[in-house]
Amino acid sequence: MSTNAGTSTSITHELHCVSCGYDLRGLDGDSNCPECGSDVQRSLRGDDLRYADPKWLRRIVRGQFLLAVGLNILLLGTVAALILMMTGGILAEKIHLDWEGAIGEAIRFAMTAFIVLGGFGLAAVGCYMVSAQDPKTTSHEMALSARRLGRWGLITAAVLMTAGQILDTSTSVKWLVALSSGLSLLGLIACAIGLVGVLRWLAQLTRRVPDYDLTKRLTNEAEFFRKTFRILLPLILIHRMIEVYISGGANAVDTIVNLISCVMSIAVLLIFVHMISLFTLMIQTSQILRFCKKMAAKSAD
């Protein structure tokens, strides 16, 4: 017979300490963990975040904040880049600026660096923190869990896209330019995997609040990005291969390229709209996690 919270019956099933992951099987319900000394009753209360390890939850809250800031930079930076791309030449002409020269190139590079390094960089750091492993799951987590995919996906995306951007702006050698495009595409794939993974991980956390409405919305967003990227990424690859390996001029080729570009534009627009929705979800998730952090701190006291 296994113990319940508030009894002193010994634990007969597998139960891991919420602080260090030690298997508490065989210990008394009113005793302390022999590994870290934390109260066994805390581990008996279940998966509710209000009973989670306060140090771990504090790291989660900080990481989620950085992740939200990084996504916001990506969103606003992309909007600013699109506006600059559409109006930059006109504005440059009015102020007598060589938009196609070195100055214009420097402005475009700075904007791209801000989006890639600022947005992806903060998102990657935040993702690394928010996906810190719960001490309670140290020995029984799946190899390709949402937490791990989210953590390493966005970090890999930040590294690959930064490398691709550096190569793209520092060389005109054809094979290096092709390598730059390949790195950027791989970075986009890693970004898709990471974004879906971290959203599913946040859904798992909000389920432990429990806030099932927010959990459902986060899960739906993860599914949207998964399905959209499954369509968008092959189209980007096909579009790029046509541009590089097939010479233009043929009407059939131009029609295919234009059709692919149209579908890609629609997909990007949908992603942009969902990014706005995602940012509001991040704010709500942050508020709930902060509340759970306070409850966990009080419970620990």
Express each pLDDT in 80-96 by its tens digit: 766 666 665 566 566 66
pLDDT value for 200: 92
Q: Work out the burial of residue 45: count CB atoms within 10 Å of its CB; fewer than 13 is exposed, 13-18 middle, 19 or more buried.
A: middle
Mean pLDDT rounded to a whole number for the chain: 77
pLDDT value for 1: 37
What mean pLDDT do residues 126-143 have?
77
List phi, psi (to 5°) of 39. Answer: -65, 130
- The closest alpha carbon to 233, from 204, 260, 258, 215, belongs to 260
pLDDT per residue over 184-219, tens digit each?
888 888 888 988 999 999 998 888 888 888 889 999
Is the pLDDT at 255 greater than 50? The verdict is yes
- Residue 111 makes CB contacts below 8 A (sequence gap 6+) with 77, 80, 81, 84
In three-state secondary structure terms, 301 is coil
pLDDT value for 229: 87
Is the pLDDT at 176 greater than 50? The verdict is yes
- The closest alpha carbon to 231, from 258, 253, 254, 262, belongs to 262
Is the pLDDT at 7 greater than 50? The verdict is no
pLDDT value for 4: 45
pLDDT value for 253: 67
d(CA 66, CA 47): 25
Q: Work out the burial of residue 18: count CB atoms within 10 Å of its CB; fewer than 13 is exposed, 13-18 middle, 19 or more buried.
A: buried
d(CA 7, CA 30): 7
What mean pLDDT do residues 232-256 have?
70
What are the angstrom distances between the C-alpha of 213 and each of 24, 184, 286? 33, 35, 15
29 contacts 8 by C-beta, under 8 angstroms: yes
What mean pLDDT do residues 246-266 have?
70
d(CA 139, CA 264): 42
Residue 201 CA, chain-centre distance (Å), reads 10
What mean pLDDT do residues 139-144 have?
70
- The closest alpha carbon to 138, from 33, 232, 213, 220, belongs to 33
What mean pLDDT do residues 258-267 have?
78
Q: What is the pTM of this model?
A: 0.72
pLDDT value for 90: 60
Please give the torsion angle defined by the CA atoms of residues 150, 153, 159 and 164, in that order, rounded to the nearest 10 degrees: -140
Q: How many CB atoms within 10 Å of residue 217?
A: 20
List phi, psi (to 5°) of 88. Answer: -60, -45
Q: What percent of the chain has pLDDT over 90?
A: 6
SS3 helix, strand, coil % of the chain, rounded to 5?
Answer: 75, 0, 25
Is the pLDDT at 123 greater than 80? The verdict is yes
pLDDT value for 17: 77
What mean pLDDT do residues 161-182 have?
73
Q: Give the DSSP H or E segment for 12.
A: none
d(CA 295, CA 193): 32
Provide the 8-state DSSP code for 49.
G
d(CA 91, CA 93): 5
Q: Residue 292: which pLDDT band, with cuts at 50, 70 and 90?
A: confident
Is the pLDDT at 37 greater than 70? The verdict is yes
Beta bridge partners of 32: 39
In three-state secondary structure terms, 250 is coil
